[in-house]
């Protein structure tokens, strides 16, 4: 099942709240609107995008007035909007486009990577080499489509209200020579420069830190403005991509990230290590 967009999650949360305020059960709403209970459940959990007439019927039952009514009808229209992603609609996996949508709406991202430089911080040369190596069966066009999408994603770091990014990488990610020595030197120098942005923080966990809580695998925690809904954890693995929304999962990964911050080098010491490693190339 495709992951919902951020706006669809917000709409679902608003509808749950409206039904709660109206003190109605799903069965009572179904009886008054003709929308069956199973469909109503899927709408309220952002599993499906309601039709405009269905949303209008629900808002009638809840007695919602202007301007809030127009706000939610507009939100419904926006919930299917992919912006620049329309260019890649047939080239990128559904779960990846969902991830990009979430990332574009997030206010803060906590990203831990074991073996790769975080996508938002990759140079084009590194991105191309990393994608070629990780997806050996992809065609040239598929690789270029992913590279272009990855480069466009990085606009979130320089928009009017830039995304706050806190990235932590294992030293293995900066030592592995992806794309050759020139590509890797360019990548490391880019990391040194981009950490000058006040909204970007980068830490490296050195090899001599020993075992640490991030060794089981990479993950991303996305935080959103209150109106857009709760946090999401994203995990990318060989078994498939996962979006976790349960409070226990979110708490666990936030705690892991806190531990990783503690075992990693400080941001300034990390930049020194990046610069020294770049000079080695």
At 246 the pLDDT is 83
Kindly state the DSSP code that residue 160 receives in the 8-state scheme: S
Full set of structural domains in the chain with CATH? 6-78 (1.10.260.40), 86-280 (3.30.870)
- 149, 88 contact by CB (below 8 A): yes
User: Each residue of 162-215: pLDDT tens digit?
Assistant: 999 999 999 999 999 999 999 999 999 999 999 999 999 999 999 999 999 999
Q: What size, in residues, is the chain?
A: 281
pTM over 0.95: no
Phi/psi of residue 219, nearest 5 degrees: -165, 165
Kindly state the DSSP code that residue 87 receives in the 8-state scheme: G
User: Each residue of 69-115: pLDDT tens digit?
Assistant: 998 998 888 776 555 454 554 567 766 777 888 898 899 999 999 99
How open is the CA angle 239-242-243, to the nearest 5 degrees? 180
Give the pairing of strands 232-237 and 108-113: unpaired
């Amino acid at each position: 099942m495709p992951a919902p967009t951020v706006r669809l999650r917000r709409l679902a949360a608003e509808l749950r709240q409206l039904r709660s305020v109206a003190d109605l059960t799903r069965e009572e709403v179904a009886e008054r609107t003709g929308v069956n209970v199973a469909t109503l459940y899927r709408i309220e959990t952002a599993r499906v995008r309601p039709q405009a007439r269905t949303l209008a019927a629900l808002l009638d039952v809840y007695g919602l007035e202007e301007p809030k009514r127009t706000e939610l009808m507009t939100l419904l229209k926006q919930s299917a909007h992919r912006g620049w992603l329309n260019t890649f609609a047939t080239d990128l996996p559904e779960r990846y486009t969902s991830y990009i949508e979430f990332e574009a709406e997030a206010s803060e991202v906590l990203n831990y990577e074991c073996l790769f430089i975080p996508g938002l911080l990759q140079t084009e040369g590194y991105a191309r080499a990393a994608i070629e190596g990780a997806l050996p069966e992809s065609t040239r066009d598929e690789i270029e489509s992913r590279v272009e999408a990855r480069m466009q994603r990085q606009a979130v770091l320089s928009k009017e209200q830039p995304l706050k990014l806190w990235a932590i990488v294992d030293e293995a990610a900066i030592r592995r020579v992806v794309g050759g020595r020139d590509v890797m030197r360019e990548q490391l120098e880019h990391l040194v420069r981009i950490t000058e942005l006040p909204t970007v923080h980068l830490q490296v966990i050195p090899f001599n830190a020993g075992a640490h809580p991030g060794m089981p695998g990479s993950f991303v925690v996305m935080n959103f403005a209150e109106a857009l809904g709760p946090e999401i954890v994203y995990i990318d693995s060989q078994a498939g991509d996962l979006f976790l929304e349960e409070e226990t999962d979110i708490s666990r990964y936030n705690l892991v990230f806190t531990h990783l911050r503690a075992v990693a080098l400080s941001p300034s010491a990390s930049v020194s290590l990046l610069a020294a490693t770049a000079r080695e190339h």
